[in-house]
Amino acid sequence: MDQSPDELEIAARGLDVSEALQLPGVVDIIRAKDVPGKKVRTFCGYHEELLAESEVSCIGQMICAVVADTKAHAKRGAAAVKISYEDLPDPIFTIEEAIEKSSYFKPQRMLERGDVTEAFKNVDRVYEGEIRIGGQEHFYMETQSMLVVPVGEETEFNVYVSTQWPTLIQDAVAETLNIPSNRVTCHVKRIGGAFGGKVTKTSILASISSLAAWKTNRAVRCVLERGEDMLITGGRHPTLGKYKVGFMNDGRIIAADFQFFANGGNAADESPLVAEKMVLHMDTAYNIPNLRGHGAACRTNLPSNTAFRGFGVPQGLLIVENMINDVAMVLGSPADKIREINMYKGPSTTHYKFAFDPENLLRCWDECKLRSDFSARHAAIKQFNQENRWKKRGISIIPIKYGIAFSESFLNQAAALVHIYKDGSVLVSHGGTEMGQGIHTKMQQVASRELHIPASKIYISETSTGTVPNTCPSAASFGTDANGMAVKNACEILYQRLEPIRKKNPKGTWESWARAAFMEKISLSATGYYRGPDLCVDWEKMEGQPYSYYTYGVSCSEVELDCLTGDYRTLRTDIVVDIGKSVNPSVDVGQIEGAFMQGLGLYTMEELNFSPFGLLYTRGPSQYKIPAVCDVPLQFNVYLLPDSDNPHAIYSSKGIGEPVLFLGSSVFFAIKDAVAAARSDSGLKGPFTLKSPATPERACLACASPFTKKVPASKPGSFKPWALDV
């Protein structure tokens, strides 16, 4: 739909496509009533309509699709579709409105360790706070894109699509068209970035595109423009975190009670799971003996939000670390000391009663402090701040313990198909999709190692449901772990089959063995399979094992803040990450740097703005600022923790795609530290609110200088009375 969202009001009343159908080049207009099969996609037990039929519940919901011979004709056709609306009686846009009206998706989740209520009675101090984190647009380079081609004599389709989960697209197309899955083949060459945004939302767009291809019996391409993509497909959940913390004067946190509210939008998508992951990660690096957390996904009239690298952890942990910062500010102690005092030490148990050893987390912490020269720089910053009134420096050091694999156990599996051709060249297919995280490179390395041949003899053409069926999404940082084991398994089988040939001719070449095996009627093709860990949580008993293992990391960042403008620069960042024995350190360092920068964007610059009527204003790079080269820390050091093993993943490596995004928050807390120094010059001490992203406007206002105090505060901490805090 290309109708200007300004013209849309909530709730469709009528749809008139007659004029649009008369326009040159317009072939057809696809509506919900055209669907021969399922009209909805079901996620987390909730139905999401492919095309709105009776009610539109957000600005950006799709109502119909215009099929035309050119993009220009399609746009003109979409503009000519007439839709009349009447307002929904009581729309909900913000988290606060959702809380007030108890508008939630089920299930909500709660975990408790110890007895929080009782523990609050025996602490020196109690503090209550909250922090709001804005959402984030995926801003993948390639927007949602697909081409559906009808082929064959029977109803059969080839779908070329940019997705993280080819099997979901296959299922969605088959269910929409009411045909068996064996008539739909989904192909993914590579994805121009996905970051979690090309799982569920892509399946809805692919269903609509396949409907168009089926109805017109023509190949149909759908590529969203950037503005449409930003409006329609949702992103990271804006989140409100509230907490109450009880602690002793020596810095020990005895009790903490969290409430996480994620703005899910108008359809559930994976939102309940996102809220759940916040609760599962809320202990992070800290052994708080009495810990309670409640996570809820709010149903609102915004476009539905979805998975985004980190899946709720970047929001949940910002809330937890903000709580730690508040404790430090109440006590007037350095935040790193409070973190250290409360960290897991020695063999430990999480709040879901899972035993683990935090040794490598502590090693990352010590190594990061050492490598960043933390103590000396902390002292130098103090000195700098004493000598400067309008420029302040701040430093922070932040840990993460990130669970790898899917807590929905059935997703922890993978398969691969490996062919050796007679000329010795090898074709590897696996269930993972390449989106820039380097999975194909790593799979090539696995095959090379197992078959004892150079990587140059191995090729990965594409991911296809025709070669590897029933795949799981490349998500949860588990793609390499799972598919690596499946490729290994297939290669081991093949290598063993070639053993008699090698024994007969030990001096032969790989090529000669491949040809000889064919001549001796030995199959040169094998499937590999990996049955991953059985993970689950018993929410009644509040115990379980939701993750296979943890990836640990620590980041230290220093910023310089101009208190008069709020402009800041990250002077230096040092990151130490435990990723076991990396399969490919170059790829992994790239992942660490990329994830950190995406986190830096989330916490300090990327700001989605909504009108008071729930219309997304920020629909392109001119309105929405993502980090650029100039935002990379001036000094940026990444270290991989040495001497680390991991028995749970391929070649002792660890998943690294997502965890480091949260460490971008070290820049947020460094800004907060600099702001605290500025406030102290204005005679202000103790905790204060700084919303994420800590944009220059917010940082400048938080400094509370004599100048910013002159700004009329229509909304505390905001320059934007025209935008909603969703």
Residues that bind ligand MTE (CB under 6 A): 193-196, 309, 432, 435-437, 439, 474-480, 591, 594, 655, 657-658
Nearest to ligand MTE of 195, 365 (CB atom): 195
Nearest to ligand MTE of 343, 587 (CB atom): 587
CA distance 464 to 447: 18
Nearest to ligand MTE of 532, 657 (CB atom): 657
Which pair of tokens denotes residue 411?
């997703």
Nearest to ligand MTE of 104, 139 (CB atom): 139
H-assigned helices in 565-626: 585-604
Nearest to ligand MTE of 43, 344 (CB atom): 43
First to last CA, the chain: 24
Nearest to ligand MTE of 468, 476 (CB atom): 476
As measured in angstroms, the least distance from the Cβ of 657 to ligand MTE is 2
Count of Cβ atoms closer than 10 Å to residue 484 Cβ: 26
As measured in angstroms, the least distance from the Cβ of 235 to ligand MTE is 12
600, 667 Cβ separation under 8 angstroms: yes
568, 584 Cβ separation under 8 angstroms: no
703, 567 Cβ separation under 8 angstroms: no
Q: Residue 343 has what DSSP assignment?
A: B
As measured in angstroms, the least distance from the Cβ of 683 to ligand MTE is 45
502, 514 Cβ separation under 8 angstroms: no
Nearest to ligand MTE of 398, 443 (CB atom): 443
Q: How many helices (H) and strands (E) does the chain have?
A: 19, 28
As measured in angstroms, the least distance from the Cβ of 75 to ligand MTE is 28
As measured in angstroms, the least distance from the Cβ of 436 to ligand MTE is 2
Nearest to ligand MTE of 48, 481 (CB atom): 481
62, 52 Cβ separation under 8 angstroms: yes
CA distance 463 to 83: 40
CA distance 573 to 587: 19
CA distance 289 to 537: 20
Residue 680, CA atoms < 13 Å, CB-side half-sphere: 18
Nearest to ligand MTE of 212, 447 (CB atom): 447
186, 473 Cβ separation under 8 angstroms: no
Residues 137, 321, 450, 658: which is the catalytic one? Answer: 658
Count of Cβ atoms closer than 10 Å to residue 454 Cβ: 10
As measured in angstroms, the least distance from the Cβ of 475 to ligand MTE is 4
CA distance 110 to 351: 11
Nearest by Cα to 289 from 333, 348, 238, 330: 348
654's enclosing H/E stretch is none
- Residue 631, phi then psi, degrees to nearest 5: -95, -5
Residue in the shown chain whose Cβ atom is closest to ligand MTE: 479
CA distance 94 to 97: 5
As measured in angstroms, the least distance from the Cβ of 529 to ligand MTE is 18
Alpha-carbon 92 to chain mean position: 25
Count of Cβ atoms closer than 10 Å to residue 349 Cβ: 14
- Residue 489, phi then psi, degrees to nearest 5: -60, -45
As measured in angstroms, the least distance from the Cβ of 707 to ligand MTE is 41
Nearest by Cα to 146 from 129, 158, 162: 162
Nearest to ligand MTE of 516, 663 (CB atom): 663
Nearest to ligand MTE of 365, 596 (CB atom): 596
403: left (phi over 0), alpha (psi -120 to 50) or beta: beta
As measured in angstroms, the least distance from the Cβ of 119 to ligand MTE is 36
Residue 454, CA atoms < 13 Å, CB-side half-sphere: 4
Is 96 catalytic? The answer is no
**Long-range contact pairs involving 375-378 (C-beta distance under 8 Å, separation at least 24):** 377/558, 378/334, 378/336
Which pair of tokens denotes residue 714?
């229509």
634, 469 Cβ separation under 8 angstroms: no
548, 405 Cβ separation under 8 angstroms: yes
**Residues with catalytic function:** 658
